[in-house]
Amino acid sequence: MNTYGLLPALHIGSIPNFEGIHMATRTGNFDHTGWTQEAYPQGWAAADISREKIMLRLSAEAVDDLAACLRRVQESEKAWHQVTKTDFSTPTLDFELGEARRRLRQRGLPVLLKGLCPNDFSQEEVEKIFFGLGMHMGKALPQGATGDLLSRVGELYLLAEQHGGQQPSMQTDSAETVGLLCLRRAITGGETVLSSALRVYTLLAQQRPDLLDILERGLPRLSSQGDGTVTNDSPVFSRCQGLLSCQYKRRPIEEARRWAARALTPLEIEALNYLDALAASPDLQFRFQLEPGEILWLNSFETFYARSPFQNHFDPSRGRLLYRLWLQDNPSRPLQEGILGREAASARGEVKRRKVTRCQVARDPVAML
């Protein structure tokens, strides 16, 4: 008899929660789950995805375990950045988060984890819980020029958008897995917007292979470290060991012109415009509202994401606030050399924990969700 954790052909979304699954069936080694794009080899479209299809609801037992683990962390007086996977490890949590990780690696869709009630915890406790859950998905990576391991996507920049703002262009991040925990919503808007990088690639190959060739060949990209370093011929799309990966932020490519020896050609600009248009196509975009307590896990090298314009609270303490983690899985996803900037490539090696005592508010408009 196959166990639930080892079923290779389990239909996506067929088990939306873990209630009723006996612990005797909760087995399987998730650490050795391989990477595959067989579920959606040409990527998914908006019609292929829904909240129900990507949802996993923590069982009542897992929620109880979270609270018990948090009590032990509090008794140990650990700060959030000192929390490890072991601090939030029980047979139930290991199984349920292992299933989330398996879905990211093998099913080609994001995972929406439900069950956490932020009103039951202080903001400091939420930080520890989220970081502990994230350690099940990988090792925390420094984010951007600030190098924060846990970013609060929120207050300062959002004050400039009280009456809504333009939707940022679709992008990927420099980490294998991105975790987003919603703590507070805006008054209106602020939807999470996702589209499949594999589907964009497929359409480019069908419609404009000449532009796809440019994106695969590579473009200059400015380092996020703010030191003026430019990576030349950095591919937007690449393959390694049969896996198609995407690494794309438009602004660092455009800003590289100030530092690089050459400007983008008209055909390169057309390639970027075509990619942006496909990623923003209503046929490809999946839009939904992250609710307080929900955690979204993304396979960043296969998923474009952004957020819709929104109206925020005038009181920053009530404004839209998300926490974000960049995570490196183990074993790491196979990637072609050069797809990452030097700082992200370096971080895929041994990551040394910085001395961090608080979350920094993310200030980079490109990184805002």
Q: Is domain 41-369 given the CATH code 3.10.20.30 in the classification?
A: no
Residue 25: which pLDDT band, with cuts at 50, 70 and 90? Answer: very low
Residue ranges covered by each domain of the chain: 41-369
Is the confidence at residue 231, as pLDDT, over 80?
Answer: no
User: What's the confidence (pLDDT) of residue 40?
Assistant: 95
Q: Pinpoint the alpha helices (H) of 77-208.
A: 91-106, 123-137, 155-158, 197-207
SS3 label, residue 22: coil
What is the rounded distance in angstroms from the CA atom of residue 122 to the CA atom of residue 130? 12
Residue 102: which pLDDT band, with cuts at 50, 70 and 90? Answer: very high
Sign of the C-alpha dihedral computed for residues 277, 279, 280 and 283 taken in this order: positive
Helices (H) and strands (E) in the chain, counts: 10, 17
CB-based contacts of 261, cutoff 8 Å, min separation 6: none
What is the rounded distance in angstroms from the CA atom of residue 241 to the CA atom of residue 250? 26
Q: In degrees to the nearest 10, what's the CA dihedral of 328, 85, 153, 228?
A: -40
SS3 label, residue 222: strand
pTM above 0.85, yes or no: no
ω into 331 cis (within 30 of 0): yes
Residue 159: which pLDDT band, with cuts at 50, 70 and 90? Answer: very low
CB 8 within 8 A of CB 44: no
What φ, ψ does residue 89 adopt, rounded to 5°? -120, 120
User: What's the confidence (pLDDT) of residue 204?
Assistant: 98
Residue 166: which pLDDT band, with cuts at 50, 70 and 90? Answer: low
Is the confidence at residue 155, as pLDDT, over 60?
Answer: no
What is the rounded distance in angstroms from the CA atom of residue 241 to the CA atom of residue 334? 7
What is the rounded distance in angstroms from the CA atom of residue 258 to the CA atom of residue 264? 11
Q: Which of 109-118, 231-240, 348-357 has the highest mean pLDDT?
A: 109-118
CB 275 within 8 A of CB 200: yes
pLDDT tens-digit profile of 169-199? 899 998 899 999 999 988 887 899 999 999 9
